[in-house]
Chain A
Amino acid sequence: MKKVFLSVLVVAAMSLQSRAQETFPRNGVYDERSGLRAFTNATIFVDYQTKLENATLVIKDGKVVAVGTKVAVPQGAMVTDLKGKTVYPGFVDPFTSYGVPTPPARSFSFNSPPQAESKKEGAFNWNQAIRPETNAVELFKVDAKAAEELRKLGFGAVLTIHQDGIARGTASLVALADKRENQVVLLDKAAAALSLDKGSSTQEYPNSLMGSIALLRQTYLDAQWNAKNWDKEQNISLKAFNEANNLPQIFEVSNKLNAVRADKVGDEFGYQYIFKGQGDEYQMLPQIKATNAAYILNVNFPDAYNVEDPYDARRIDISDMKHWEMAPANPALLVKEGVAIAFTSADLRDKSRFLPNLRKATLYGLPEQEALKALTYTPAKLLKADKYVGSLREGMQANFVVASGNLFDPSTLLLENWVQGQGYKITETPGDFRGVYTLKVGNQPERRMLISGTPEKPELKVVAQDTLKGSLSLSGELLTMAFAPAKNGKESIRLTGWYTGKGFQGEAQLPDAQTVKWTALLSEAATQQAKRDTARSRSNNALDMGKLTFPFAAFGRTELPKAETVLIKNATVWTNEKEGKLENADVLLKNGKIAQVGKNLSANGARVIDGTGKHVTPGIIDEHSHIALDGVNEGTQAVTAEVRMADVVNHEQVNIYRQLAGGVTTSQLLHGSANPIGGQSAIIKLRWGQAPEKLLFEGADPFIKFALGENVKHSNRSPQYNVRFPQTRMGVEQVMVDAFQRAKEYQKAWASYNKLSKSAKAKTPAPRRDLELETLSEILKDERFITCHSYVQSEINMLMKVADQMGFKVNTFTHILEGYKVADKMKARNIGASTFSDWWAYKMEVKDAIPYNAAIMHNVGVTTAINSDDAEMARRLNQEAAKTMKYGGVSEEDALKMVTLNPAKLLHLDDKVGSLKAGKDADVVIWNEHPLSIYARPEKTFVDGIAYFDLEQDQKLQEEQEKERLRLINKMLAAKARGERTQNAAPSRRGAAQVLHCEDLSTEGEETFQESEYSQK
C-alpha cells in the first residue's frame, strides 16, 4: 500500500532560530535553541551519486550532524518520519541577484551629448563599466519574498551578483533562510563576476562588443601595472580587480560565441572563466568544449511558435525553429562532451517552469545523476563552497529538499525545503488517495468506490449495479462525499469521515435521515505507472530531433564539404598572370592548392568538371567589407586602435554564404569610419560552416582601419555629437600627429626599459602596456598596415604628409573617391587604392566622386581595387569591376584584377591568392559566362579547393531546408495541440540579414521591410 503523505508539519520548527547571533545583544531573554532533529526512514541523497535507503539525517544548529543508514536518533531530537520521501541536498544557484539592487537601466537621451569621461566620483577607474570595487555582500539585504520564490524551486543557497558592468566586483554565497544577513552569508566573496555588457554605465566607451573586449584586456594590463606602480596612481578599482581575480570568475555571456571570445581573453591573462550562458552552447560544441570552462545554464527553453499562417511562419528563422527543438537537449549534449554544467533559475520569466524544464532536459538525454550534480555538487564546487553546500555531509549546512519521490519524476512534488536547519513548507499537498476502495455504508451491500483524477482534483465513482459519479472533497485527511445510490436518483447518501491509514471511516446520513457508520478500505492503490503515463506520453519523441548544422543557421550543412582533387577541363581560364586569358585550358586543384594550370592536364582520381563554355577566375577579394561581424564601430573615442575585429567575427551570418554565391572567397572585415583611428581588421576566407577562428586568413599581415572626412568629424550626426574632438579636417590632422607622437614616446619608453640589464629591470617597474599605443607602434615598425577610409583630396594629401612627417606608411586608401585628383602623389608613395565603382552624391564629400576614378588611378599606376562596403554589392563585384570598362576604358583583364589580384596585393596576399598559378591557394570560381558580363553567375566557388558554394548543391540545400522547416512546423503544431505554450512569429533579430556599412553605429540587424511602420521610400 502506498503510504500517503502525512502533512504532519512541524510548525514550531518553522520559526526556529538555529544559528546564534553571537555579537548581537538581545532585547529580552536569550532564546537560542539547538534545533536538534532527526529525519528517519528517508531515501537520502547524501550527494548527487550516493543514495541511501531507509536512512536517517540528523541536524543541529543549522548543520548536518550525521547522516546514514545506521545513525541512531540522538536523545532529545525531534523526529520526523520521512518514509516514502526522498531527501536531496539543497540546490545551489550560482547565478542570481538575490537581495542585491537591480542596477539602474542605462539612461539614454537623444538630447544629451556623449559622455567621454567617467561620472563616478572618487579614486576609481577611468571607465564606469569597470566596477570591481563593488562587493555584493555590502549591498546584500535578505529579501523574504525572493528567498521564498527560490526556495520553492529547491534552492538552499545562491550566489548573488550585482549584475552591472563589465567588471562587476565580488559576489557572495548566501543561504536562503529568513534570518539576519550576518547569518545567511556563507561566503562574503565567493566569486568575481564579469561580462561584456557595460551595464548602467553612461560613459560612451565602449559601445561595441569589440570595445568591451578591448577594455577588459586593457583592464587586466592596467591592474597588473598598477599593482607594481601604486605610487604612480591610486586606483581603488584596479586594486579591487587584482584581488577579485583570485576568486572563481563567473563570466556572463549572451551567446555561445561570446563565451568562446571571452575565453580567449581569459587564456591571454591566465584565467579560466566559468560561463553563464544562454543555452545555445550545443550549437558550437567543439569550440565550447575547447574553452575548458564550466557552464552555468538556464532552463529557459523557448516556446514553440505559432505557425498556422504560412506567411507568418516564413518570417521565423530556421535556426530559431531548430533551437526550439534542440534547446532542451543542450545540457545533455554538453555533459556528453564532458563539459561541467550547473543550473541556474536565471532568465526564467515564469520561475515555476524551472522544475518541469529541468525534467524536460532529462527526457532529452541528460542522466538524472548529472542533472542532480548540476543542481548541487557542481555549483558548490565551482564556487569552492563544496565544504558547505551541495551535499549532506557532517558539518555542512543543513540545506535539503524533501521530495515526494524521485525529483525527476513528473508527478513528484517538492514538499519542504530546509535551509540552515530551518524548514519551509513548499507544497501544501493534498494526500494522494487515488485507488479502489471497498465501501460499506451501514448495513447496505458493499460497493466499489473509485477515487481517480489528480491528487489536487480527485474524482469519485461508486459502482454498484450502475457506475455512479459522486462528489468528493478533501481537506487534509478529512473527507466529505456524496453520491446518489440509484441511477437518476434524486436522493443522495452524504458521508463525512477521516483517513485511517488503511482507508476512510466516518458517519453517513442516508436519504431517509438515518445516520450510520461507514468504512472504505483501500483494496488497490492506483499504480505509479498509471499516474505517470499522462506526463510521460508527451515526450516520447523527445530525442527525435533534427541534425546540427554548420553553421547553426540558414544554409548550414549537416556535414562540411570536403576538399577534393578537381580537374576543370576545357574552360576559358583567366590566370591574372603573364599568360593572361587562356582558351580551352585546364585547372587542377589538389590538396587545397592550385596544382597546375595549362592545357590537356590529367590527374588520377580527380573529379573532372567539364568547363566547356565556362570561365574560370581566381576568387573575388573584397578589400572593404563589414559582413560576418557582431559590431562595426567603436567610434566613441578618436583613437581606438586597441579594438580588434577578429574578436567579433560571426561565422553564422548568412551573408558569408551569399558572398560565396557571388564568387567572393576572401573579405577584409574592417572597423567602421566613425573615428580617425579605428580598430584592427580581420581578413577572412569564406569557409562557410567553419568556426570564426578557422575563417581567419592564416599568415595574413595585420591591418588597421583609419578614416577621414565627414564620418570622423560627425558631420552627419545629430548636433549633440558636435563635442568630440575632431569636428573638422583640421582637427583630424592633429589627432593623427598626436597619436603617432604618443606612440613614438611609448616605443622609446619600452626601448629604454628593454635595454636595461636583468638586475636593473628587477628594480625598475616596466612601463604600462597600452594596447592602443602598442598597435600604433606596430604601424611605425611596418608590422601593421593602414587602410584609410577617405574621400576628398585635401584630407588624402594631409594624411600622406603626416605619414611622411611621422615616419609611417599608408598602405591603402579605401573609398578614396577623389583619388583621381591626387593619384600622382599616391603613386609616388606607392599607396594603393580601393574604391567604389560608381557611388556618389549621397553626401557632401562625394559630390565630386566620379566613376572614372578607378580608371584614372589605374592609368597613373596606382594599384587599384574595387570594393563593396556592402553585403549586397559584394555579391556582384564582377559587375562593379566591369564598370571600369565602361567608365574609362580599362581592359577586361585589368578590370577583373581590380576585384582579384589587386586587392590581393593591397592585402599583401598576392603570393597566396588573386591569380591562378600553381602553388597558390585553390580559391577559384567557375562562371557560366564571361565573368565581367552582366549575365555571368558563379556555378562553383572553391576556397582551399573546397566547393563551399555549388549551384547544384545549393538547390539540394534549399530543398532540405524546406523539408526541415516543414518537419518543425508540424512538430510545433502538434506541441500547440498538446497545450504547450507558444509565441508569435516575429522577424528574428538573429536571423535577420545584417547589412552593415562603414557608418553603421548599431549592430542590430533588421528585416528590411517589416520593421518600420511607414517605410521612408
Chain B
Amino acid sequence: MLRVKRRTIVAFLLPMLVMMAVINLWPILYTLYLSTTNYSEFNSDNYRFIGLENYRQLLFSLDSDFFPVLWQTLLYVVVCLVCFLIVGMLTALALNNPRIKGLPFWRVILLLPWAAPSGITALIWKFLFQYDFGPLNQIGRLFFGQQFGIPWLLNPTLAFIAVVIVNVWLSYPFFTVVILGALQSIPGELREAARIDGAGPWQYFRHVTLPLVTPALIPAAILSAITTFQMFNTVFLITQGGPVVSALKPGATEFVMIYMYNRILGASVANPHYGFIAAFSITLFALLAALTYLGSGLGTRLPELSGFREART
C-alpha cells in the first residue's frame, strides 16, 4: 500500500464514485422508492406511498405470477446448464483428441456461433422455427410428408425446448473453450500413465479428466447460471415470452426479465403498474446479489469472467 494524503485518495476516487452514484446507484434507489408507491400510468399525478403492499402482493398473494415465473426461469437455467455442460464437454473432448485430423478447421467451425451477434442469430432462429414456412419443418416435410410439422413456437413445451436449443447453440462454445483449456493443461504423462495402467476411456474420464476440469467449470457454470437467469435478448426476440398458455398465466417462455419488460413496455399493457414492477425488480436484484455473493464465496473470479462471457450474450 502507498501512503498518500487523504486529498489524493479522494481525487483519485471521485470521478468514478460520482459517475457511479448517478448511473448505478440512483436508478436502483429510485426503483427502491418506486416499489413502495402505487405509481401507475393512470395515477401518475397523485400516486402515494403504500409501504410494503407491493411486496405483499408479489410474494404472498395467491394469484401472483412471481413464483410461476421464477420457477420456469430456474427450470430454464438448470436445463440450459446441463445441456451446456454436456455439449461443451463432448465438443471439447472431440477437439482435444489428437487422432482427429484437421483440428484447427473443426475448432473454427464449432466456435463460430460464438462470434456471430446473438441478436441477429436469434432473429434467424425465429424464422427457422416458423411452423408453416420455416425451413426446419420444411425439411421434415421432405421426409415425413406434407402433414408433418413440429409446432416449435406454438406449443408451450416445444417453445421452451426451442429457446433452450438456441441458448445451447449460443453458449456451448464458451464451455468448449473453458473445458478445452483445462483439458490441455492436463499433463501428457498422466494420460500415458493411465494408458499403461490399462484404464479404459471412461475410467480415465471419470477419475482423471473430470476432477481436473471441474475447478475451471464451476465459475463458468455459476456465471452462466446468472446470465441465463437474467436472459432477455435472445428469448424475447424469438418468442416475446410466448406462447400463451392462458390469459391468466405468464407465457411459457416468459422468464423474469421478459415478464418485467412485458408488463411495462409490452404491446398492449392496459395500465402499467410501475410501483409493482419496481418491487419485482428489487426482489430479483436481491436474488441476483445473493447468487453473486454465493459465487464469489466459492472463490471464483466472476467479474472478470463475466466480461468474457457477456461479450456474447
Q: Is A bound to B?
A: no
Which residues of B are in contact with A by a Cβ distance under 8 Å?
A: none
